[in-house]
Amino acid sequence: MMARISLLPLLFALLVSSFADEPAIRVDDECKFSADIPVVEDYLRLITFSDPYKGNFDAGVTVIEYFDPNCPHCKTLHPIMNEVIADQGEDARFFMIPFVLWQYSVPQAEALFVAGQDGKYFEMLDAQYERQKPGGLTFDELVQIAVEIGLDKDVFKSRMEKGLNQRMIMARRQEISELGIRGTPSVMINGKFVASDSKSTACITELIEREVAALEQG
């Protein structure tokens, strides 16, 4: 059986009541950053060298998506982000970091980091989105995914039962919430959050290109 989860005190109800994106600030068709969430100047502190990423690690543009694997809006954004990554992978590095909204999302976030130990973080995330359902996935369903993506069943189960990533997941959740994030998905580009109605392939791409151009201009 899976080890009992020990959670830090959370106000999940507050997040659940407001997990929709931040209010839109666009008044025209221009792609914009959010005016509601302050710019994070020291955004590099939000990632670690152990975080899985896609794209060019040495790029000057850092994109961080905060998500919950059980958030329907995050599932909708996922293929959009994959398109952006495919197009902008040379000019940016992309991190997808869980920001759990519900307690039942914690084991799924744990499964992501456990899978990441064997280089299967993104495969686990893809599979969780494919199976997304109300109330989250069961332990047995996560084990089944692990087997399907090529992980050792017994090793995966053992690591999951130890729950070694849970404190980190919850501590990180607190850190992220202190940025002013009210829900998921939230996308940050070099410390600036993308406005809710600018989360399209075209707009996220354009905002990344603006950051690249700014860096080139010095």
Q: From CA 18, how far away is CA 151, in angstroms rounded?
A: 36
CB 10 within 8 A of CB 166: no
Would you state the pLDDT for residue 49?
84
Would you state the pLDDT for residue 29?
66
CATH code of the domain occupying 12-217: 3.40.30.10
Q: What is the mean pLDDT of the chain?
A: 89
Task: Give the distance from CA 158 to its chain's centroid.
Answer: 25
Question: pLDDT tens across 105-162, in order?
Answer: 999 999 999 999 999 999 999 999 999 999 999 999 999 999 999 999 999 999 999 9
Can you give the pTM of this predicted structure? Answer: 0.86
Q: Which of left, alpha, beta for 22 (phi over 0: left; psi -120 to 50: alpha)?
A: beta
Q: Where are the domains of the chain?
A: 12-217
Would you state the pLDDT for residue 182?
83
Residues 6+ apart with CB under 8 A from 2: 107, 139, 160, 161
Q: From CA 161, how far away is CA 190, in angstroms rounded?
A: 36
Residues 6+ apart with CB under 8 A from 186: 21, 22, 37, 65, 66, 99, 193, 194
Would you state the pLDDT for residue 50?
85
